[in-house]
Chains A and B, each alone.
Chain A
Amino acid sequence: MTQPRKPPAVEFAGVHKWYGAFHVLSDIHLHIETGERIVVCGPSGSGKSTLIRCVNRLEEHHRGALRVNGVELSGAEAQIDRVRREVGMVFQQFNLFPHLTVLQNCTLAPIWASATNRREAEARAFALLEKVRIADQAHKYPGALSGGQQQRVAIARALCMNPKIMLFDEPTSALDPEMVKEVLDTMVALAEDGMTMIVVTHEMGFARRVADRVVFMDHGEIVEIAPPEPFFSAPRQERTRQFLSQLLH
């Protein structure tokens, strides 16, 4: 290992956040290396969505330091926009732009946020739509697609910005059961390409298969961090055991 140490992709150092009096993130310490795949799980209201929404500053943290690719996330507006261009996000509700076609959804940000010319942006969009196996729908509006298709478009849209990190906020929770697989398969393929990923999900099968580490959160705290094998077979914390036993039933 003679390679110089790169800064971690994401670094939480004593991060706190409150919603009014509610302590939604409490003393979070987490280092995520480039190329690492992290799955965040925990009961609802445990702060896991808030955690990843802090990474691209859809939510502000109130105390502590949060660095993304070495950039401190409490600086100027321009710096935050730069971080956002390097961090892709996929939402539970897809959040595609319904007034634009699939292709336009994918080229909007490359053209207007990172000044790519239209032809280049479209070529890249087509390549990525091909990768999520939906290029044949490029000229349709999102309203004409199924949930699973929409979510795959959302993944392609995020990838069009060439992000270094991808955030997934419960990407399969709003899907009908028969569509979950097509989205998870897309995410597995992405992981195999070496993308740095932080995934909030209840899909434990995905966590087992893809995650380098699983983070378990409860009441705004990180309770346990472990690789999937020990996490699922021998959790150290009582709360983790309780949560996992509820999942299996």
Chain B
Amino acid sequence: MTMPLDAGTRPILERSYLRIRGAGLVSSPANTLTTGVVALLIAWAGWTFLRWAILDAAWNGGPEACRIHAGACWPFISTNARLMFFGVYPQGLLWRPALSLVLMGSVVVASMIPRFWSWRLALAWVTAPTAVCLLLSGAFTAAPVSTNEWGGLPLTLLVWMIAFAGAFVIAVPLALARRSKLGGLRTAAIVTIELVRAVPMLVALYVSRFIVPMTAPAFEINLFVSVEAALTLFVASYLAEILRAGLQSLPTGQTEAAQALGLSYARTMQLVLLPQALRAVIPALVNLGIGVLLSTPLVAVIGMTDFLSAVREAASHEQEWPGCYTIAYLVAGSVFFAICFVASRYSRWLERRLRVAGHR
């Protein structure tokens, strides 16, 4: 079909690359037909998107401009960016959620770099969410902001970060208890893990928000606390299983060598087994992280204004902005996609790097 004219003079490497990449595309009439149809579909989808997003799009003006143009309504995004990304956080104090994003983003990025893997990183995962909570609530300042006004992307990231950091604190003892020789301890760990894993996240959120407070009517439990309690426990049960798998993947010789040197159980875990187990389960950790991040929009059902619900809120001015749901969700989707795509590429890169470095 696309036989190059100068096939004989092309560099060999490039030709073999083409052959591998193009293997089976035109090897039989049926394959050629399929290739053609799929290529047409891709071209059509691409063209439609291009027309919608750029050629027919409204670029400036107000809602009227969007009524005239059939394509994307970019002014909606620029007008509503604040609502979409930061929810109803007081307008004059937007530097707080913005700074929070930067702070949390830096800690997450630092966590991805092997050179920074040490106990200081664990400290950063405690300090950053704490600092963000103080920052957002405006503690010790003249302008406190109630948690009900927190929202948008910083809130999503904060909820995720606290759940993950908290989950580690619970998951390590859970995983160790599950491997314990003490039968009672092991059973308790298994029951806890299996019970929590048997419950859908939505149910965990409902229980935490509506059932638990009934047992202590005297206290008013903050929505933020309810969400974190449910999410943390939920993530911890999955994390414990991942850690257990990591510990089990290590040869028994590692434990024996540490014991033979006179290291105690706690030191053996801390210095020898856990660091290796964590390296072994990084892909699973990244997977869990992505999964939890993509599940955070569920917190909206118990009334929290996470990123996605802030976007939905912003787009609910349907009368004013025609067809703005499409573009609003597209932007929200792109943000989630960008984060998850980077995370999954990172995970593959890291696996390769650790293999090369001989860390096993």
Residues of A within 8 A of B (CB): 56, 58, 81-82, 84-85, 87-89, 91, 93, 95-99, 108-109, 112-114, 141-144, 157-158, 161
| Known contacts A91-B257, A141-B359, A97 near B272 by CB under 8 Å | yes
Question: Could you list 5 A-B pairs, sorted by A, with CB under 8 Å?
Answer: A81-B264, A88-B261, A93-B253, A143-B357, A143-B358
- The listed residue (B257, B262, B358) touching A81 by CB distance below 8 A is B262
Interface set, chain B 246-272, CB cutoff 8 A to A: 251, 253-254, 256-264, 267, 271-272
Q: A108 near B261 (CB under 8 angstroms)?
A: yes
Q: Please, which residues of chain B bring their CB within 8 A of the CB of A87? A: 260
The chain B residue sitting closest to A89, CB to CB, is B260
Asked if B263 and A112 make an inter-chain contact with CB atoms under 8 angstroms apart, the answer reads yes
Complexed CA–CA distance, A163 and B291 (Å): 49
Q: Which of B271, B357, B359 contacts A108 (CB 8 A)?
A: B271
Q: How many angstroms from the CA of A144 to the CA of B356 in the assembled complex? A: 10
A154 to B, closest residue via Cβ: B257
When A and B form their complex, which 3 residue pairs have the shortest distance between CB atoms, in order from nearest? A143-B358, A85-B262, A109-B261
State which of A82, A97, A113 has its C-beta within 8 Å of the C-beta of B254: A97
Contact of A113 (CB < 8 Å), options: B262, B279, B359, B360 = B262
- Total count of chain B residues near the partner, CB < 8 A: 22
Q: How far in angstroms is the closest Cβ of chain B from A156?
A: 12
- Set A58, A84, A99, A143: member contacting B262, Cβ < 8 A: A84
B347 at interface, CB cutoff 8 A? no
Task: Check B254–A95 contact: CB distance below 8 A.
Answer: yes
Q: Does B137 contact A (CB under 8 A)?
A: no
Q: Which residue of A lies closest to B357 (CB)?
A: A141
Q: Is B275 among interface residues, defined by CB-CB distance under 8 A?
A: yes
Partner of A99, one of B251, B253, B261, B275: B275
Contacts of A109 in B (CB 8 A): 258, 261-263
State whether the Cβ of B80 lies closer than 8 Å to any Cβ in chain A: no
Q: Which residues of A contact B360 (CB under 8 A)?
A: 98-99, 143
Q: Is the CB of A112 within 8 A of B267?
A: yes
B287 within 8 Å of A by Cβ?
no
- Which of A58, A85, A141, A144 is within 8 Å of B256, CB to CB? A58
Q: Are B261 and A161 within 8 A (Cβ)?
A: yes
Docked Cα-Cα span, A93 to B358, in Å, equals 17
By a CB distance below 8 angstroms, the chain A residues around B256 are 58, 91, 95
Check A56–B264 contact: CB distance below 8 A. Answer: no
Measured CB to CB, the closest approach of chain A to B38, in angstroms, equals 45
Given A143-B359, A143-B360: A98 and B276 within 8 A (CB)?
yes
Chain B residues contacting A91 (CB-CB under 8 Å) are 253, 256-257, 260
Alpha-carbon distance A23/B223, docked complex (angstroms): 62
B60-95 residues at the A interface, CB under 8 angstroms: none
Give the residues in chain A near B264, CB-CB below 8 Å: 81, 113
Closest to B267 in A: A112
Question: A102: shortest Cβ distance to chain B, in Å?
Answer: 12
A95 in contact with B253 (CB, 8 Å): yes
Q: Quick one: which of B253, B262, B358, B359 has the most chain A CB within 10 A?
A: B262
Nearest-Cβ distance from residue B359 to partner chain A, whole angstroms: 6
- Separation of A84 and B267 alpha carbons in the complex (Å): 14
Q: Which residues of chain B are near A93, meaning CB under 8 Å?
A: 251, 253
9 other A-B residue contacts (CB within 8 Å) besides A91-B260, A96-B257: A91-B257, A93-B253, A95-B257, A97-B276, A99-B275, A99-B279, A109-B263, A112-B271, A141-B358
A95, B360: Cα distance in complex, Å: 13
Q: How far is the CB of A230 from chain B (nearest CB, A)?
A: 33
Residues of A within 8 A of B359 (CB): 98-99, 141, 143
Residue of B nearest to A98 (CB): B360
Provide the residues of chain B in CB contact with A85, threshold 8 Å.
Answer: 261-262
The answer to whether A84 and B276 have CB atoms under 8 Å apart is no
Chain A residue with minimal CB distance to B360? Answer: A98
Give the chain A neighbours of B358 by CB distance below 8 A: 98, 141-144
A158 touches B275 (CB 8 A): no
